[in-house]
Each structure stands twice: as C-alpha cells, then as structure tokens.
Amino acid sequence: MSAILVAVDGPQAGDWLAALRDAAKGREVLAWPVGAEDLRRVSFACVWLPARGLLAQLPNLKAIINLGAGVDHLLADPELPAVPIARVAHADLTRRVTEYVALHVLLHHRRQRLYDAQQRERSWRVHGQPAASEVNVGVMGLGVIGAHAAKALAGLGFKVAGWSRSPKTLAGIETFHGAAGLDRFLARSEILVCLLPRTPETEGILDLALLRKLKRDGAADGAFLINAGRGPLQVDADIVAALDECTLSGATLDVFQREPLPADSPLWSHPKVTITPHNAGDISPRVFAPNVIAEIERFERGLPLGNLVDRKRGY
Ligand code: NDP
Ligand code: OXD
C-alpha cells in the first residue's frame, strides 16, 4: 500500500506524526525527511508550512492535506505539484478561533485593558459601559470560521455585519460583499474582526486608509481592530500610526507581517496593543487525524476530497 508522508514545521510536528500513525492503524506513515527510495512510495502528503520544493520531490503524489485552514504558505510554493489540496475546516478549529474572537471583542468592549492598568495602580474606578446591543462589530471573511464567529457575536447581543467576496445570507447578520460593499461595511463597524485568507487581493488590506473608514463615534467609544487572519493582510506601521492618531483605540493582533514578531517591533510595547503568538486556533492533532485518514480512504475509493482548496481563488 502506498505511504503517507507527514511534513510539519513547528512544535506540533511530533504530535501530528503520532496522531496520524495511530489513526492510520498500521498503514505506513513516514516522517519527513525520508530517503530517495521512500520519496517514490508517497501518495499522500500531510503538511503544515512545508519547505518550498519539498512536495515537488514526490513523483507519485496523489493529494496534499494541509493541516491548517490557511493555504497561503502552500500556494506560494512555485513548484507545488498539480494535485488536489484539502485543508482543515473542522469544528475544533472553528470553535477555538471563535473563542479567541469573542474573548478579544469582549476585552475591548468591557475595557479590560483599562481595568488592568487601574489594578496595577490600585485604583477603584468604574467607567460607563454600553450594552453589546449598542455596539457594531464587523467581521471580514464569512467563511467557515468567520460565519461561526459572527453568529457567536450576534448571540452575545452585538450588532454584527460581515463582509465577503461573494454575496451571503446569514440569519441575524447584515452582510456586505465585494469592493462595492466595503466602505458601507466599514462605516458601520466599530470593532473590526479580520478572518480573511491571505491572497493577492487581501494582502495589505488593513492599512491606514481602510482603518480611517471605521466608525469612531459609536457606543464603543472608538474603533478597534482584531486580526486573526494572516499577518501580511495588515501593514504593521499603519496600525501603529492609526493607534497614535487615535483612528484606532485598541488592537488585538494574533498574526504579523513577520513571525515571530521581531523584538524591536513597536507593537510589542504599544499600550493599546494586545499581542498573541499566532495561536488563535490550533487544531488538535488527536481530534483531526482520524478525519485525515478517512479523507484519504475516501479518495482512494474514487470519491473527491472534502474541503478542497480552489487554487485559482487562492483559498
Ligand atoms: P474560508 O475559506 O472558509 O473563508 C474565507 C472567507 O474570506 C470567505 O467568506 C471569502 O469570501 C472571504 N474572502 C476571501 N477573499 C476575499 C476578498 N478578496 N474580499 C472579501 N472577502 C474575501 O476560510 P476559513 O474561515 O476557514 O479561514 C479564514 C482564514 O483564517 C484562514 O485562511 C487563515 O488565514 C485564518 N486562520 C487563522 C488562524 C489563527 O490561528 N490565527 C487559525 C485558522 C485560520 P467568499 O465566502 O465569498 O468566498
Ligand atoms: C491556520 C492557522 O490557518 O493556524 O490553521 O493559522
């Protein structure tokens, strides 16, 4: 039987290998790097951030399983073989990112950074608090994760709108789409949540000009940004400028133009910025590995892979 290759960069590499080997029930699962003989036996590659050109070394590759939601790194490989690519779209990952989004929308809404500062000074002061139903949240990207997060925020009582490439109908969510809908979407959004993929169209979209279009005179008392999509969507220097000129009153950033965020980045010490190390959502290998093996077995029975990536669209 043909082999499955696991090539994962990062701290979860060992966990993915162990989980996929368990789920594969005796079927051969190889860990990158492998010898020249083994390269020929690989039919399926399960990857996260594989080195450029790695997949081109597999002459009998039938499909690629991306062990995360975003495929920007994979599609940037100029030697990417022309085989189907599946990505993660699973409740475990979706719920984790939604938790992150809810946590940080609430952090800004409930002025938690202000209360943290007051605690350091032993200061007991209560500030005015709008109801969630008075605050407009805008979610950029209404895909698997964005739609789930938007619904969860609506469930907390926020006035939620979403923006996507194509038109969408979502109960309880006001929707906008395309370039024509962007300015109207921004003009009503006080807390902007970005859950877009990185594509040539979305790169650099979170710049100063866009941030200046957000609603600042609403109940949230300013405009806020939460980016858990991809770092290259934001212009780091523009985020700092927007904070310094009070276009933004706060920002939560999980992703950055350069990761790890360089130690000399002004974002680290900016008093209005909350930073997390690209951990809004990591899928659990134990939870997802059985799905990977089931997908491979379906594919071998002649059925199409689920959650296929559209290479032309870029996500
Ligand atoms: P999906 O592919 O399901 O959804 C992508 C959404 O973005 C769709 O609604 C799509 O519109 C919209 N979109 C794409 N391009 C444009 C554009 N040019 N203009 C407007 N809207 C656009 O992705 P997921 O929801 O599964 O994941 C989204 C992203 O979140 C991932 O690509 C990844 O970068 C990031 N992510 C980050 C994590 C983290 O830990 N920080 C964890 C997981 C994901 P349409 O519906 O019309 O196609
Ligand atoms: C993903 C991520 O895309 O973790 O899954 O960033």
Residues 288-315 pLDDT 10s: 999 999 999 999 999 999 999 999 999 9
> From ligand 1's centre to the CA of 40, what distance in Å?
34
**Atom of ligand 2 minimally distant from the CA of 67:** 5
* Candidates 21, 96, 109, 230; catalytic one: 230
The model carries a pTM of 0.98
Quick one: pLDDT band at residue 52, thresholds 50, 70, 90? very high
**pLDDT at residue 123, as a whole number:** 98
With a Cβ cut-off of 6 Å, ligand 1 is lined by 69-70, 89, 93, 97, 141-146, 163-166, 195-199, 201-202, 228-230, 254-255, 278, 280-281, 315
Q: Is 230 a catalytic residue?
A: yes
Q: What is the pLDDT of residues 81-136, one digit of tens each?
A: 999 999 999 999 999 999 999 999 999 999 999 999 999 999 999 999 999 999 99
3-state secondary structure the chain: CCEEEEEECCCCHHHHHHHHHHHHCCCCEEECCCCHHHHCCEEEEEEECCCCCCHHHCCCCCEEEECCCCCHHHHCCCCCCCCCEECCCCHHHHHHHHHHHHHHHHHHHCCHHHHHHHHHCCCCCCCCCCCHHHCEEEEECCCHHHHHHHHHHHHCCCEEEEEECCCCCECCEEEEEHHHHHHHHHHCCCEEEECCCCCCCCCCCECHHHHCCCCCCCCCCCCEEEECCCHHHECHHHHHHHHHCCCCCEEEECCCCCCCCCCCCCCCCCCCEEECCCCCCCCCHHHHHHHHHHHHHHHHCCCCCCCECCCCCCC
With a Cβ cut-off of 6 Å, ligand 2 is lined by 68-70, 88, 281-282
Q: Is 278 a catalytic residue?
A: yes
> From ligand 2's centre to the CA of 115, what distance in Å?
31
Q: Which amino acid residue places its CA nearest to atom 19 of ligand 1?
A: 165
* Candidates 177, 216, 270, 278; catalytic one: 278
Q: What is the pLDDT of residues 1-41, one digit of tens each?
A: 699 999 999 999 999 999 999 999 999 999 999 999 999 99
Q: What is the pLDDT of residues 214-267, one digit of tens each?
A: 999 999 999 999 999 999 999 999 999 999 999 999 999 999 999 999 999 999
